[in-house]
């Protein structure tokens, strides 16, 4: 769901482009719940942090959007252009190129201007919903699945490079998960299918 030097009219194979990277913050996170899910679990996508047998950070991501209701879905209205016919998304039919991204909670704040949309930069880690690789041109979409997002199984294009990093190295703080789509003018921000929960990594 090779960084490009400037926005393009057609999406690239991987959701990457030159954008600032924000450090996660734990601002507003209840002190009595330093780990795990913070707010209400949503049906479309949810993420739960944990650790593997070696003590490395992993994130279990549940995705269920095969019959997503456009009238009741919780999504980020991050359209950057008023004349963009693709945003917000109206056809929620799952696509093979749909992907999920892990963002710091601070990404909700418009940057660098108050008029900028939320999540206007790259996720810290991401993968297509199929998870196993670049499934953008696959025949079938993956709309209902549970993924254990971990360094030893995640595709390298979503956890390496200038903008992304391995799951095990995510700094402590508050994060959120988004289910996104590559479509329209260019990105970021990427068009949001639905917004997931906030969670904390210690």
pLDDT for 190: 85
pTM exceeding the 0.85 threshold for the entire prediction: no
pLDDT for 119: 87
Least confident of 32-36, 39-43, 132-136: 32-36
Q: How confident is the model at residue 78 (pLDDT cuts 50, 70, 90)?
A: confident
Residue 48 has pLDDT above 70, yes or no: yes
As a whole number of angstroms, the distance between CA 154 and CA 133 comes to 8
Residue 13 has pLDDT above 70, yes or no: no
Q: How confident is the model at residue 43 (pLDDT cuts 50, 70, 90)?
A: low
């Amino acid at each position: 769901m090779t960084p490009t030097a400037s926005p393009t009219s057609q999406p690239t194979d991987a959701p990457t482009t030159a954008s600032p990277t924000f450090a996660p913050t734990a601002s507003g996170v209840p002190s009595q719940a330093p780990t795990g899910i913070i707010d209400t679990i949503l049906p479309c996508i949810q993420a739960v942090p944990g650790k593997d047998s070696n003590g490395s950070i992993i994130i279990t991501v549940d995705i269920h959007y095969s019959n997503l209701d456009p009238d009741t879905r919780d999504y980020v209205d991050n359209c950057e252009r008023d004349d963009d016919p693709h945003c917000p998304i109206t056809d929620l039919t799952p696509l093979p190129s749909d992907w999920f991204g892990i963002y710091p909670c601070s990404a909700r704040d418009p940057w660098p201007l108050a008029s900028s949309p939320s999540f206007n930069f790259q996720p810290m880690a991401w993968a297509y919903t199929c998870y196993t690789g670049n499934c953008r041109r696959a025949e079938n979409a993956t709309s209902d699945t549970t993924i254990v997002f971990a360094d030893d199984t995640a595709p390298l294009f979503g956890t390496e490079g200038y903008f992304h990093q391995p799951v095990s190295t995510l700094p402590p703080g508050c994060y959120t998960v988004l289910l996104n789509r590559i479509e329209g003018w260019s990105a970021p921000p990427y068009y949001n299918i639905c917004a997931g929960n906030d969670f904390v990594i210690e």
